[in-house]
C-alpha cells in the first residue's frame, strides 16, 4: 500500500512540471487558438539566460530570478509582435508551422551558444534533498514545484475570472472584431498573453533546470504538457493541471507495475485513446462548430 501511495506521490511530482507547461500553453490557446510549440524553447531560453547571468556576473539566484522572468516576458511579447502578428493566413496549420519555426530558431541559438553538454544550474534547493512524510518520500524540489503549480493555477484562475485583463482576454478569444469595437486593444491583449505565458513557461524551465540542463531538456515537458493540456481540454486551466497530474500518475503506475521500459510511450498512447473517446478532452464541453 505504501508503495502504491509512493508511486502516486511521485507521479504527482512528475506531473507538476508538465502542469506548468500545460498551463502556459492553455493560456495562449485560450486567447488566440494557437498551439504554441515554441513554449518549451521560450522556457529554455529563459533558463539559460538565468544560467548565463549567474555564471558571468556572479549574481545570486534570487537576483537572477526576476531578471530571467522579465527576460521571458519581453521575449514572449517580442516574438508575438515580430512574428505571430505578421502571419498572413492565421489558420491552424500556419500557426503550428510558425511556432515550430520559432522553436527551432530558439533551440538553435541556445545550443549554438552553450553546446549540447549537460550544465549545472546553481539553485538554492538541491535536487537531491528529500523529505519524508510518514513513509513517503518526496524530493524538496518536487514539493516546491507542486506548490508553485497550484499557486500559479490559482493566480491565473483569479486573473482570468476577476480582472479586467482576464475579461479582455476572454472577449478577444470569443470574437476579436467585437472586442475591438468594445474598445479592447486585441493586439496588446495577445501580446501580454504571450508574455505572461512565457513567464509561466520560464518558471517551469527554472524548476526543471536544477535536475536536467541541456538544450533538449524542455522537449519532454513540452510534449507531455501539451498532451496534458489537450487531455484537459486545451481551454481549461484546472483541466490542464489535473490532466498533467493524471498523466504523471498513470505514467508512474504503469512504470512501476506493468513495464518500466514502455513508460515513455504510455503517455502518448493514452492521449490517443482518450482523444478517440472524448475528442475535446476530459474536462471541456464538446465544442460544436456552427456552419
Partner 1 sequence: MKMKRNYYEDVQMFTSGVVLFWFLTLLTGLFLLPLVVKNYYVYVANYMAINVIVVLGLNLLVGYTGQISLGHAGFFAIGAYGTLMLMVKLHLPFIVALPLAALITAGFGFLLGLPALRLEGPYLAIATLGFGLTITQVIGRLEIFGGREGLHAPDLTIGSWRLDTDIEFYYLLMVITISLALAARNIVKTRVGRAFIAIRDADIAAQTIGVNVVLYKTLAFAVSAFYAGIAGGLYAFVLRFIEPEIFTLMMSIMFLAMCVVGGVGSMMGAITGACLLSWMDLQLRNILNLPYIGAWLESISKTYFSITGVSNIQFIVFGLIMILIMTLEPLGLFGLWIRVKKYWKTWPF
CB of 233 to partner 1, least distance (A): 10
Residue 18 grid cell:
508538465
The alpha-helical segments, DSSP class H, found in 58-139 are: 61-82, 92-114
What is the C-alpha to C-alpha distance for residues 52 and 279, in angstroms, rounded to an integer? 43
> How many residues sit close enough to partner 1 to count as binding (CB under 8 A)?
53
How far from the centroid of its chain's Cα atoms is residue 85's Cα? Answer: 22
150 binds partner 1 (CB under 8 A): no
Among the listed residues 268, 281, 276, the one whose alpha carbon sits nearest the alpha carbon of residue 229: 281
CB of 278 to partner 1, least distance (A): 9
CB of 64 to partner 1, least distance (A): 21
- Map residues 72-101 to x or -, x wherever contact with partner 1 holds by CB under 8 A: -----------x--xxxx--xxx-xxx-xx
> What 3-state DSSP class applies to 136?
strand
What is the C-alpha to C-alpha distance for residues 123 and 68, in angstroms, rounded to an integer? 13
What is the C-alpha to C-alpha distance for residues 160 and 74, in angstroms, rounded to an integer? 21
- Map residues 109-138 to x or -, x wherever contact with partner 1 holds by CB under 8 A: x-xxxxxxx---------------------
What is the C-alpha to C-alpha distance for residues 255 and 11, in angstroms, rounded to an integer? 10
- Binding partner 1 (rule: CB under 8 A), the pick from 57, 74, 265, 285 is 265
- In DSSP notation, 236-287 reads -HHHHHHHHHHHHHHHHHIIIII-STTHHHHHHHHHHHHHHH-TT-SSSPPP
Question: Smaller CB distance to partner 1: residue 63 or 105?
Answer: 105
How is residue 53 annotated by DSSP?
H
Restricting to residues 21-80, name those near partner 1 by CB under 8 A: 29, 33, 35
CB of 25 to partner 1, least distance (A): 9
Question: Smaller CB distance to partner 1: residue 86 or 164?
Answer: 86
221 binds partner 1 (CB under 8 A): no
| Sites of contact with partner 1 (CB under 8 A) | 29, 33, 35, 83, 86-89, 92-94, 96-98, 100-109, 111-117, 215, 219, 223, 226-227, 230, 234, 261-262, 264-265, 267-269, 271-272, 275-276, 279-281, 291
Amino acid at each position: 500500500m505504501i508503495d502504491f501511495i509512493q508511486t502516486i506521490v511521485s507521479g504527482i511530482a512528475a506531473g507538476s512540471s508538465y502542469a506548468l507547461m500545460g498551463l502556459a500553453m492553455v493560456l495562449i490557446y485560450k486567447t488566440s487558438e494557437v498551439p504554441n510549440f515554441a513554449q518549451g524553447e521560450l522556457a529554455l531560453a529563459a533558463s539559460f539566460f538565468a544560467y548565463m547571468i549567474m555564471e558571468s556576473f556572479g549574481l545570486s539566484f534570487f537576483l537572477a530570478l526576476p531578471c530571467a522572468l522579465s527576460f521571458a516576458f519581453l521575449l514572449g511579447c517580442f516574438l508575438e509582435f515580430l512574428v505571430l502578428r505578421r502571419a498572413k493566413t492565421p489558420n491552424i496549420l500556419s500557426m503550428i508551422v510558425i511556432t515550430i519555426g520559432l522553436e527551432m530558431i530558439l533551440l538553435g541559438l541556445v545550443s549554438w551558444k552553450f553546446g549540447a553538454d549537460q550544465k549545472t544550474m546553481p539553485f538554492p534547493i538541491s535536487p537531491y534533498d528529500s523529505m519524508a512524510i510518514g513513509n513517503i518520500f518526496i524530493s524538496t524540489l518536487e514539493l516546491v514545484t507542486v506548490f508553485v503549480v497550484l499557486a500559479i493555477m490559482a493566480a491565473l484562475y483569479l486573473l482570468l475570472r476577476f480582472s479586467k485583463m482576464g475579461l479582455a482576454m476572454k472577449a478577444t478569444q470569443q470574437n476579436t472584431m467585437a472586442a475591438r469595437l468594445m474598445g479592447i486593444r486585441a493586439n496588446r491583449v495577445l501580446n501580454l498573453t504571450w508574455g505572461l505565458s512565457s513567464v509561466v513557461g520560464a518558471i517551469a524551465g527554472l524548476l526543471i533546470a536544477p535536475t536536467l540542463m541541456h538544450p533538449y531538456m524542455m522537449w519532454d515537458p513540452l510534449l507531455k504538457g501539451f498532451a496534458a493540456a489537450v487531455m484537459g481540454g486545451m481551454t481549461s486551466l484546472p483541466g490542464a493541471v489535473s490532466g498533467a497530474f493524471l498523466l504523471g500518475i498513470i505514467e508512474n503506475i504503469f512504470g512501476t507495475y506493468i513495464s518500466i521500459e514502455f513508460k515513455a510511450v504510455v503517455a502518448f498512447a493514452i492521449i490517443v485513446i482518450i482523444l478517440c473517446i472524448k475528442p475535446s478532452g476530459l474536462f471541456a464541453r464538446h465544442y460544436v462548430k456552427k456552419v
